């Protein structure tokens, strides 16, 4: 199994390690998933996300190439800015969801899912004929620092280097002598940053953050937090054959250029004719609905659970499900088949949790 540079740091903290997309990663530390999720909601937690793929695309024609492969309006993406988007291949299959960072007119960085890195790269290479593609994943590490105190912590450690950093913006800063890339992005529903650094600095930076009361959190807490925040996870809410509009990501299809390989598709009637939609479910009975469980109304299967967990914020089990559109009315009550039992659940609007904005 692949290991991140911080693997020994996780072991030192007595993390429980599991296989995640071929990487041995911490699912939780001794504090446990629930307490870790609460650190992030109430203070500040950090996650080793070095397993995620980081790919640079550069060269004279980089901007053109990005316009060709992604549904973003590349002209509206300013330097030092980031955007959440989808990678859709020429067969209309969604290969990944990702964040693109514009470094300059001729250089971009893509941060992609660990589980899709190889397939994404294969496809990008196949389409490519005139840009340079550099997979910097093996040479760099990535840490997400999330929570209401996250920005303060980074400011304290960097001489207030990010007081002016807007959401979905990034900059290169000096943190206690280490040069890092810091972006105000995340996957928890809290404010915070994601940093990329050289491998040789990762352990020192991790330790500096620990010393400053940033709690180490595992992928279990990350999953709980992103479900509460109603955020998609590839392989769950997003699949190869998903219709982007059905899964609530129609807003990402903003390309204005016929240079985009799926321009006709995103402007077509076909994409508007989805039959399903993603909803939130609050479980009223005792028990957690989990991925794959069937959703019923009047003995008829109307959908499936895509993700489920227990939320200490909602104080009950919650789930995200894909439902036939006719049945997605808010407040509708449905039954979810969990093992041999049927759990009653109420359809709610996503997200389950929204942070208070300052």
Partner 1 sequence: MSEIPKNLKYSKDHEWVEISENIATVGITLHAAESLGDIVYVDVNSLDKNLSQFDKFGEIESVKAVSDLYVPISGKVIEINEALLNNPEFVNEDCYDKGWIIKLEINDTKDLEELLNSEEYQKII
Binding residues for partner 1 (CB under 8 A)? 16, 27-28, 32-35, 220, 224, 286-288, 309-310, 317, 339
Instruction: List strands edge to edge, sheet with 45-48.
Output: 170-175, 178-183, 192-198, 140-146, 45-48, 215-216
Q: Which residue, 27 or 348, has its beta carbon nearer to partner 1?
A: 27
CB of residue 93 to partner 1, shortest distance in Å: 30
**Residue 239 to residue 92: CA distance in whole angstroms:** 11
**Which 3 state secondary structure label does DSSP give 56?**
strand
Query: Considering only CA atoms, which of 100, 17, 119, 113 is closest in space to residue 58?
Result: 100
d(CA 274, CA 242): 9
**By the 8 A CB rule, do 194 and 141 touch?**
no
Tell me how far, at minimum, the Cβ of 319 lies from partner 1, in Å.
13
Are the beta carbons of 347 and 330 closer than 8 angstroms? yes
Nearer to partner 1, 10 or 102 (CB): 10
What is the smallest separation between the CB atom of 205 and partner 1, expressed in angstroms?
28
Comparison of 18 and 103: residue with beta carbon closer to partner 1: 18
The C-alpha atoms of residue 180 and residue 166 are separated, in whole angstroms, by 17
Select 13 or 127, whichever has its Cβ closest to partner 1.
13
Q: Cα–Cα–Cα angle for 49, 55, 61, nearest 5°?
A: 155
Rounded to a whole number of angstroms, the minimum distance from the CB of residue 294 to partner 1 is 16
Q: Which neighbouring-strand residues pair with 71?
A: none
- Name which of 34 and 103 has its Cβ closer to partner 1: 34
Whichever of 203 and 285 has its CB closer to partner 1, that residue is 285
Determine the Cα–Cα distance for residues 270 and 163; give it in Å rounded to an integer. 45
Closest CB 40 distance from partner 1, rounded Å: 15
Minimum CB separation of residue 33 from partner 1 in Å reads 5
CA 28 to CA 292: how far, in whole Å? 24
Strand (E) or helix (H) holding 264: helix 263-266
What minimum distance in Å lies between the beta carbon of 7 and partner 1?
20
Which of 66/225 has CB closer to partner 1? Answer: 225
């Amino acid at each position: 199994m692949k290991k991140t540079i911080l693997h020994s740091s996780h072991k030192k903290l007595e993390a429980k390690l599991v296989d995640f997309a071929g990487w041995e990663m911490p699912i939780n530390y001794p504090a446990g998933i629930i307490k870790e999720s609460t650190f992030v909601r109430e203070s500040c937690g950090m996650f080793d996300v070095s397993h995620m793929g980081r790919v640079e695309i550069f060269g004279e024609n980089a901007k053109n190439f990005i316009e060709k492969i992604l549904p973003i309006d590349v002209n509206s993406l300013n330097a030092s800015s980031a955007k959440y988007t989808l990678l859709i291949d020429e067969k209309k299959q969604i290969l990944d969801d990702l964040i693109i960072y514009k470094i300059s007119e001729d250089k971009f960085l893509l941060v992609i899912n660990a589980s899709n890195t190889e397939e994404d790269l294969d496809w990008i290479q196949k389409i490519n004929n005139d840009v340079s593609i550099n997979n910097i994943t093996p040479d760099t590490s990535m840490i997400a620092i999330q929570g209401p105190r996250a920005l303060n912590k980074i400011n304290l450690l960097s001489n207030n280097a990010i007081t002016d950093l807007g959401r979905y913006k990034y900059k290169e800063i000096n943190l206690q002598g280490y040069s890092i890339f810091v972006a105000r992005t995340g996957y928890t529903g809290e404010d915070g940053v994601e940093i990329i650094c050289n491998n040789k600095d990762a352990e020192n930076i991790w330790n500096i953050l620990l010393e400053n009361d940033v709690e180490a959190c595992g992928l279990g807490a990350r999953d709980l937090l992103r479900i509460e925040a109603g955020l998609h996870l590839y392989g769950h809410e997003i699949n190869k054959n998903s219709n982007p509009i059905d899964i609530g990501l129609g807003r990402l299809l903003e390309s204005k250029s016929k240079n985009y390989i799926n321009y006709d598709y995103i402007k077509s009637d076909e994409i508007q004719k989805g039959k399903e939609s993603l909803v939130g479910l609050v479980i009223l009975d005792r028990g957690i609905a989990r991925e794959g469980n069937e959703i019923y109304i009047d003995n008829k299967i109307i959908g499936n659970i895509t993700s489920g967990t227990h939320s200490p914020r909602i104080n009950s089990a919650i789930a995200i499900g894909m439902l036939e559109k006719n049945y997605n009315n808010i407040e509708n009550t449905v039954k979810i088949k969990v093992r041999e039992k049927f759990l009653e659940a109420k359809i709610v609007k996503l997200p389950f949790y929204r942070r208070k904005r300052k």
